[in-house]
Amino acid sequence: MARVHYAEIIASIASKSAGPGTRANIDEFTETTSRAIEVVGGAAKGKAIIVLNPAEPPLMMRDTVYVLSDEASQDDIEASINEMAEAVQAYVPGYRLKQRVQFEVIPQDKPVNLPGVGQFSGLKTAVWLEVEGAAHYLPAYAGNLDIMTSSALATAEKMAQSLARKAGEAA
């Protein structure tokens, strides 16, 4: 769609949903997620930030995603984001866009400086997400845990279907 120069995610989770494992591995989370933004997402530079929010009552998981890319069709980008949100909702029902995708064109005569990247002009895209947990076993504010368990379940189901299909073909 467009070359991505920089992308970052700021994940804000309820501190009550962050157990000792999460707290002990925050550096690993930010490093791994930053690298995934680059390798899987295709960004030239990726950054991940996690915020443990101590608010009472605990707030739902919220993610803010910023992308700086070459200019492209804003309608196409928004449609792609909406399609992906719907795909994730198929296995994480509480996953949703909090508001419409927002865009800002950064003109060539007024570039912004990105530390470690340099001068940038192009398209800034901002996405605000919320993940409400299903509250089957975990509290609704623990969307960060629900998205992981729901994603793992969806992946396991796809693997099982693939194995069953291969077994059926071999028979």
CA 5 to chain CA mean position, Å: 17
Which residue is listed with tokens 């800034």? 124
Q: Burial of 157 by CB count in 10 Å (0-12 exposed, 13-18 middle, 19+ buried)?
A: exposed
Annotated binding site for NAD(+): 17-25, 144
Task: Report which of 119, 113, 122, 107 is spatially closest to residue 70, judged by C-alpha positions.
Answer: 122
The stretch 117-135 carries a mean pLDDT of: 93
Res 109 pLDDT > 90:
yes
The stretch 156-163 carries a mean pLDDT of: 92
Question: Rounded to two decimals, what is the model's pTM?
Answer: 0.87
Q: Where are the beta strands (DSSP E) in the chain?
A: 4-14, 45-53, 61-69, 95-97, 102-106, 112-114, 118-120, 122-131
The stretch 145-162 carries a mean pLDDT of: 90
Q: Is 22 helix (H, G, I), strand (E, B) or coil?
A: helix
The per-residue pLDDT for 167 is 86
Res 28 pLDDT > 80:
yes
Annotated binding site: 17-25, 144
The per-residue pLDDT for 116 is 79
Give the separation between CA 144 and CA 54, rounded to whole angstroms: 15
Res 4 pLDDT > 90:
yes
Res 171 pLDDT > 80:
no
The stretch 86-91 carries a mean pLDDT of: 94
The per-residue pLDDT for 144 is 87
CATH superfamily of 4-170: Dihydrodipicolinate Reductase; domain 2 (3.30.360.10)
Res 117 pLDDT > 90:
no
153 sits in which H/E element: helix 143-170
> Domain residues of the chain, as ranges?
4-170
